[in-house]
Chain A
Amino acid sequence: MSCRYVALVLYLSEWLDFQRLFPEAAKYLRMKIAPGATDVDNLVKELAARPAENTKSRFFGDKQRGQVAVLAALLIMLFVLLAAGLVDGYLLLEARNWGYQAAQQAALAGVSQGRDWGSLASPPCAGGPAPIRLDASAAQKAATSLLQQEMSMRGIVDFTSDVRVLPDYEGGSISGYPPAAVRLGAGRGNWSSNEPSMGVYFSFPVSTFLLSFVGRPTVQVSVFASAGVHQPDGACKP
């Protein structure tokens, strides 16, 4: 075994530390290379004192120099895409939250202003407190008016809406409503309620930033909310 070769290997393996940590193993190695043992120590010390020659290419060899520039360009593109994606995500999230808030407030305004107080004056049944019903046209008018004001304030012109009322004492159901999937729904709904209620559905476009570069300049957001009038406890049933 070449003395120089052993010295190089041992230098790289931290020969001096090795001797301190594993004295028996070191003694064995020295015996195996006994004729050149002193030379090995000297060579290790000489190599340790010499400045490192190839440290600059420790991670990137000469053939790999310049790859940092490519990496940096890729990282910048990645960060810009990430930032643009976050902006789009926030835009959509904010639009969705606004939409639900507007739909809820429209539904509440509808049932609040659409209550048919006359139904209390002449109850359709006896044997308990009189139930209440909704005035369908008044409720629809109030909800639609509020919805239009909200759209106008936000500057949305091309929206579609579908406001429905279940005015009867015991509510009812409407199949295929809301007309599009909302929230986690997988398909169109079959809205039903056991009390006088109203539902507000609308859909509006949201302009995007990043998605516009991949052919989706707008994303359609659809929301639905409903509100009802709770009947008094023990109310008679017509």
Chain B
Amino acid sequence: MLMLFILVPLLFGGIELARGVGIRHSLDSGVGVAARALSLDPSQWSWSVSVINQAITDNPLGGGSVSAVTVKVYNAGGSEISSSTLASLPFGAAFRLQASVTYTPEITLVGGTTVTIRVSHWGIVERFP
């Protein structure tokens, strides 16, 4: 019985850890693709957000208890800017795309605490002029 109380949380904790790592990896890939797309054409905001959402939905370990994705963009100075401001950034301007989700692991006999997974990628506007 003692072994079960230790081994079961270890087993399910491992699975939930792998799921969390999978979500982070998917989010990382999605934000990377979105930042690259916005570098080439900063007006592709809605497409970029859908790419990030799709990356999370297609996570092979399943969505589980993952919240909707929140996407924000910041300028080189670290201030949050709107998608329309991003679309008007000049050639060579740097921006940071940040996406976050909350994830609640479900570990048998233990439960789980909600964690926020946050990923950001930098981009540099390459559209000219």
Contacts and interface: CB of A to CB of B under 8 A. Distances in A.
B111 interface: no
Interface in A45-91: 72, 75-76, 79-80, 83, 86-87, 90
A220 interface: no
B3 A76 contact: yes
Contacts of A105: 121-122
Contacts of B13: 83
Contact of B21 (A75, A80, A90, A109): A90
Contact of B122 (A76, A108, A115): A108
A146 interface: yes
Contacts of B17: 86-87, 90
A119 interface: no
A113 B6 contact: no
B92 A112 contact: yes
Contacts of B21: 90
A164 B94 CA distance: 20
A153 interface: yes
Interface string A113-128: 1010000000000000
A142 interface: yes
B111 to A, nearest CB: 17
B10 A113 contact: no
A139 B17 CA distance: 40
A76 B124 contact: no
Interface residues of B, number: 18
Given A83-B10, A83-B14, A90-B21, A72 B3 contact: yes
A145 B74 CA distance: 14
A80 B10 contact: yes
B6 A76 contact: yes
A75 B6 CA distance: 11
A218 to B, nearest CB: 21
A149 interface: yes
Contacts of A90: 17, 21
B68 interface: no
A80 to B, nearest CB: 7
B92 A79 contact: no
Contacts of B3: 72, 75-76
B122 A109 contact: yes
A115 B124 CA distance: 13
A76 B5 CA distance: 11
A109 B94 contact: yes
Given A142-B94, A149-B78, A109 B124 contact: yes
Interface of A: 72, 75-76, 79-80, 83, 86-87, 90, 101, 105, 108-109, 112-113, 115, 142, 145-146, 149, 153
15 contacts: A75-B3, A76-B7, A80-B6, A83-B13, A90-B17, A90-B21, A101-B121, A105-B121, A113-B92, A142-B76, A145-B76, A146-B76, A146-B94, A149-B78, A149-B96
Given A105-B122, A108-B124, 14 more contacts: A72-B2, A75-B3, A76-B2, A76-B7, A79-B6, A79-B10, A87-B17, A101-B121, A105-B121, A109-B94, A112-B94, A115-B92, A146-B122, A153-B120
